[in-house]
Amino acid sequence: MHAHLVCFDPACRAQFDIREVLYNCPKCGGLLEADYDFSALDAPALKRLWRERRMDNAPLNQSGVWRYRELFPFLDDLQHVVTLREGNTPLLPAPRAAAYGGLRDITFKHQGFNPTGSFKDNGMTGGASQARLLGMKRVACVSTGNTSASMAAYASAGGLAPLIFIPNGNISYGKLAQALEYGAKTYQVEANFDQILALVRTLAERLGIYLLNSINPFRIEGQKSIVIEMMDQRDWRVPDWIVLPGGNLGNVSAFGKGLREMLAHGFIDKLPRLAVVQAEGSSPFYDYMAAKGSNPFTAQCHPKTLATAIKIGDPVSWPKAQFEIETTNGVVERASEQEIADAKATIGACGIGCEPASAATLAGIRKLTAAGVIDRDADVVAVLTGNLLKDPDYIYRYHTGQLTAPDGSPIAANFGNKPVLVENNAETLAALIG
């Protein structure tokens, strides 16, 4: 098979067997990526094949990830695939959100339609399948969020035991509830995120547990399917912009890699520009890119945002993200808690809805159109990364005017929609409803 693991660092580029259990380059410590011999790819034939697969009932062809498996051929034995029929997420036009964002039109690619409600499923089907190919029995991650919900589901569906490690007292209940229900053994550790990650790495090596944290290169490969499916759904017409939220920056890395590979092998004829939006209180990548590389990358020790899925102070994939932003002539923006909350309510009022991190896209677009970076007539796809029901508490608080930012300042219910308390009386109710 013509697949390798390669060090992402251009100064190293060391190669390793695709079946080695590695999380970083053993030579230089850099990030790893999967690399393939794609010389035999036939783009027109594959486009036809992928369309035919949409009408096929075989599980792998029904998956909106594995349908496109020729562009991430890291498994030489497909019987190891764990699929919950992930992907197949819609492109949704949203005129009201477009107007709010200063655009004539906008399309949302809604990854919240995935089996566990976030795009982590696109990647986790890849990571869990590789774990099975490697003969692993247990998988682990450090997360209180969508990663743990997704890992728990894919591990259990694939007959692997999921282990989740979480910092004590730092729990997002909606997502943790999913992980518990999907059968993950969950350990709360008296330490911070980085300390726990170090601990889990030691344990993984000692006990032969496979780590499915966000630098796992096979998760990134699965996430490429989001842009592949997007192009297929658009009949291979490339948008001007693809906008997505940024936390650990794995997703923008996956988008960039997938797009470059599609361009290199004749699936598309240009690259879209990528725009990543971070939350103001958790924006180390924004700060780094705004300084145009004149300062070294600096992690943020205490990131703060209610958009917990992008509350990441030390994003592991920043070197890949920087490369993809520069290659696509992209931009990095940031949005405040108020801006994210209002954008989120606007997406909800379109009948679409999403979790807070996802709404950073529309908040960022509004700023980028105002600044003249994105043109009003541009063809823009924004990726909604997670489902509305991931964080119902936030929604209720916003609409009832009780939401406060992490610094304690109130968030105005600019688009609030408060339940109305009424007496049990038809006359007054009729007058009220009108």
User: What residue ranges bind ligand PLP (CB under 6 A)?
Assistant: 118, 120, 145-146, 214, 245-251, 309-310, 355, 357-358, 385-386
> Distance between CA atoms of 21 and 239, rounded to whole angstroms?
37
Q: DSSP alpha helices (H): ranges in 273-406?
A: 284-290, 318-327, 337-349, 356-370, 392-399
Q: Which is nearer to ligand PLP, 121 or 261 (CB)?
A: 121
Which parts of 144-267 are beta strand (E)?
A: 161-167, 185-189, 210-211, 241-245
- CB 298 → ligand PLP: shortest distance, Å? 18
Q: Which is nearer to ligand PLP, 75 or 149 (CB)?
A: 149
Q: Which is nearer to ligand PLP, 83 or 213 (CB)?
A: 213
CB 223 within 8 A of CB 254: yes
Closest CA to 250 of 276, 279, 270: 276
Q: Which is nearer to ligand PLP, 50 or 119 (CB)?
A: 119
Q: Which is nearer to ligand PLP, 309 or 374 (CB)?
A: 309
CB 358 within 8 A of CB 113: no
- CB 56 → ligand PLP: shortest distance, Å? 30
Q: Which is nearer to ligand PLP, 156 or 248 (CB)?
A: 248
- CB 336 → ligand PLP: shortest distance, Å? 17
In DSSP terms, 92 is beta-bridged to 108
Amino acid at 24: N
> Distance between CA atoms of 113 and 94, rounded to whole angstroms?
16
> Distance between CA atoms of 84 and 154, rounded to whole angstroms?
8
Question: Angle CA(194)–CA(324)–CA(60) in degrees, nearest 5?
Answer: 80
Q: Which is nearer to ligand PLP, 133 or 226 (CB)?
A: 226
- CB 431 → ligand PLP: shortest distance, Å? 43
- CB 388 → ligand PLP: shortest distance, Å? 11
Q: Which residues contact 357 (CB under 8 A, 6 or more apart)?
A: 245, 247, 279, 307, 308, 309, 310, 385, 386
- CB 30 → ligand PLP: shortest distance, Å? 18
Task: Give φ, ψ of 213 to 5 degrees.
Answer: -80, 180
CB 355 within 8 A of CB 387: yes
Q: Which is nearer to ligand PLP, 132 or 175 (CB)?
A: 175
- CB 97 → ligand PLP: shortest distance, Å? 17
> Distance between CA atoms of 123 and 65, rounded to whole angstroms?
9
Number of other residues whose CB lies within 10 A of the CB of residue 234: 16
- CB 178 → ligand PLP: shortest distance, Å? 12
Q: Which is nearer to ligand PLP, 3 or 360 (CB)?
A: 360
Helix (H, G, I), strand (E, B) or coil at 72: coil
- CB 248 → ligand PLP: shortest distance, Å? 3
Q: Which residue is nearest to ligand PLP (CB)?
A: 386
DSSP 358: H
